[in-house]
Amino acid sequence: MPPPTTIGVVGGGAWGTALALHAARAGHTVKLFVREPEVAASVNDPAVRENTTFLKGFKLPAAVSATTDLGEAVRGASVVLLVVPTPFLAATAAALAPLVDPASTTLVSCTKGILNDTLETPAGILSRVLPEAVRPRLAYLSGPSFAAEVAAGAPTVVTIAAEDEAVARGVQEALSTPTFRCYRTTDVVGVELGGALKNVLAIACGISDGLGFGANGRAALITRGLGEMTRVAAALGAHPLTMAGLAGMGDLVLTCTGDLSRNRTVGLRVGRGEKVADVVG
Please name which of 142, 89, 150, 92 lies closest in space to residue 112, comparing C-alpha atoms: 142
Over the chain (281 residues), what is each successive 10-residue block's mean pLDDT?
Answer: 84 98 98 98 98 98 98 97 97 96 95 95 96 95 98 98 97 98 98 97 98 98 98 98 97 97 97 95 89
What's the pLDDT at 177? 97
Please name which of 109, 11, 5 lies closest in space to residue 66, comparing C-alpha atoms: 11
Question: Buried b / exposed e across 165-203, counting CB within 10 Å, b at 16+?
Answer: eebbebbbebbbeeebebbbbebbbbbbbbbbbbbebbb
For residue 47, give the DSSP letter: T
pTM comes to 0.96
What's the pLDDT at 109? 98
Catalytic residues: 198
For residue 99, give the DSSP letter: G
Alpha-carbon span 125 to 222, nearest angstrom: 29
What's the pLDDT at 259? 94
What's the pLDDT at 1? 54
Phi, psi (deg, nearest 5) at residue 142: -155, 170
CATH homologous superfamily for 6-186?
Answer: NAD(P)-binding Rossmann-like Domain (3.40.50.720)
Domain extents for the chain? 6-186, 189-280
Neighbours of 278 (CB within 10 A): 9
Classified as helix, coil or strand, 248 is: helix
- 6-186 with 189-280: one CATH topology? no
Alpha-carbon span 22 to 83, nearest angstrom: 14
Alpha-carbon span 161 to 188, nearest angstrom: 5
What's the pLDDT at 89? 97
The H or E element that residue 183 is part of is: strand 180-185
Class of domain 189-280: mainly alpha
